[in-house]
Structure 1
Amino acid sequence: MRISEANADDIAELARLLWLNSDDGELVQQSVDAFAAELEEWWAACAASHVAYVARLDGPELVGMAWVALIARPPRPGMTSRMSADIQSVFVTPDVRGQGIGAALIQAASDHAVRLGALRVTVHSGTKAVPLYERLGFESSRQLLQR
């Protein structure tokens, strides 16, 4: 397994994974190629705030992804550069699940955020993935609320 930061050459494969990870209701009447074109535009606009990590096995095809959104926070006295991060859109193709790929992707994305100075890394997880995130050091927090 190879984990690496995604680049523009990975957009078509990322689009395929995002497509596979979508609920049927989200697929509308759009082809994967049309979605890839939209993703390419989004990628260019959001490159400073979003990074994707990807997993490959033996070939060039992606078998997994994990995105991290970097969020600038207002400065505080003595801390002019504050950042948080959010893990998003983690997906591993069903045929290779259970091999540690998801954990490796989440770890790579989290490590990236921490290297850049994120004070915290959050995730909004599906129920099935909660034990995985807990094994990786994520904990529930009474202070993290959502509306």
Structure 2
Amino acid sequence: MRISEATGDDVVGLARLLWMHNSDEEPAQRSLDEFAVELEQWWAARDGTHVAYVARLDGAELVGMAWVALVPRVPRPGTTTRMSADIQSVYVTPDVRGHGIGSALVEAATEHALRLGALRVTVHSGRKAVPVYERLGFESSRQLLQQPPATV
């Protein structure tokens, strides 16, 4: 397994993984190729704030991803470079799950954020993945609150 920071050459593979990751949430309104073009544009507009890490086995095909969003925080006296980070869209293809790929991706994304000076790294996880994040050192926090989505 090889974990690396994604490059522009990985956009089609990232689009495929995002497509697979969200395939059961909502019906696609466009083709995978159209989505790849949109993802490339979205990512280019967020250069420096969103970084993806990818996993490969033996070949060039991506089998996993983890994104980290870097969020500048309001300055405080004594520091104007505060930052937080959020791990997002972690996904490993079903055929290779259970081999530590997801954990390695989360560790790489977390290390990237901390290396850049993030004060904290958060993740919004599905219930089944909570034990994985806890093994990686993430803890639940009573202070981290969220506003639920508005119901229409």
Deviation at 1:25, TM superposition (A): 4.3
Any stretches of 5+ residues in structure 1 without a counterpart? none
3-state SS, counterpart of residue 129 of structure 1: helix
Runs of 4+ in 1 over 2 A off after TM superposition: 23-29
Deviation at 1:79, TM superposition (A): 1.4
Deviation at 1:47, TM superposition (A): 1.4
Any stretches of 5+ residues in structure 2 without a counterpart? 148-152
- The total of aligned residue pairs comes to 147
Encode CA deviations 1:85-109: one digit per residue, 9 max, x unaligned: 0000000000000000000000000
Quote the residue 1:66 is aligned against: 66
Encode CA deviations 1:32-54: one digit per residue, 9 max, x unaligned: 10100000100110111000000
Encode CA deviations 1:35-87: one digit per residue, 9 max, x unaligned: 00000100110111000000000000000000000000010011111000000
Percent identity between the aligned chains? 74
Q: Which has the higher strand share?
A: 1
Quote the residue 1:89 is aligned against: 89
Deviation at 1:23, TM superposition (A): 3.8
- TM-score, structure 2 normalization: 0.95
Question: Residue 19 of structure 1 contacts residue 27 of structure 1 at CA under 8 Å; is this kept in 2?
Answer: no
Deviation at 1:9, TM superposition (A): 0.3
Encode CA deviations 1:10-39: one digit per residue, 9 max, x unaligned: 000000000000043423331110100000
Alignment partner of 1:12 is 2:2: no
Quote the residue 1:111 is aligned against: 111
3-state SS, counterpart of residue 18 of structure 2: helix
Alignment partner of 1:98 is 2:98: yes
- In 1, Cα distance between the equivalents of 2:7 and 2:113? 17
Alignment RMSD (CA, Å):
0.8
Q: How does 1:1-147 map to 2 (within 5 A)?
A: 1-147=1-147
- In 1, Cα distance between the equivalents of 2:29 and 2:86? 29
- In 1, Cα distance between the equivalents of 2:72 and 2:27? 31
Question: Residue 68 of structure 1 contacts residue 86 of structure 1 at CA under 8 Å; is this kept in 2?
Answer: yes
- In 2, Cα distance between the equivalents of 1:29 and 1:141? 37
